[in-house]
Amino acid sequence: MASDNNAKAYWSATLGLLTKVLIIWALVSYGAGILFAPLLNSFHLGGYPLGFWFAQQGSIYIFIALIFYYAWAMGKIDRKFGMQED
């Protein structure tokens, strides 16, 4: 029974992390690049409007950072629940 509770807690933590990462992904890709682009375009980064920069460059940087964060956080969750690979 304890193993079943551990598996449910592990799955819950994994889904929580995945939800957070996907929300950030959606906000950056659709929010900053499309929905909020007119508002962000009033600011400039490197000579380019910020909305354009997010659509072309910034989203890629954020996605790469999300990959590293997800790997780190998933490793932490694995260790917490004894699911790590040795």
Residue 86 has a pLDDT of 67
Are the C-beta atoms of residues 13 and 81 closer than 8 Å to each other?
yes
**CA nearest to 24, candidates 50, 49, 58, 1:** 58
Q: How far is residue 86's CA from residue 49's CA, in Å, rounded to a whole number?
A: 46
Of 6 and 19, the structure prediction assigns the larger pLDDT to 19
Mean pLDDT (the chain) is 88
Sequence letter at residue 3: S
Max mean pLDDT among 13-22, 24-33, 44-53 falls in 13-22
Residue 2 has a pLDDT of 53
Residue 1 has a pLDDT of 46
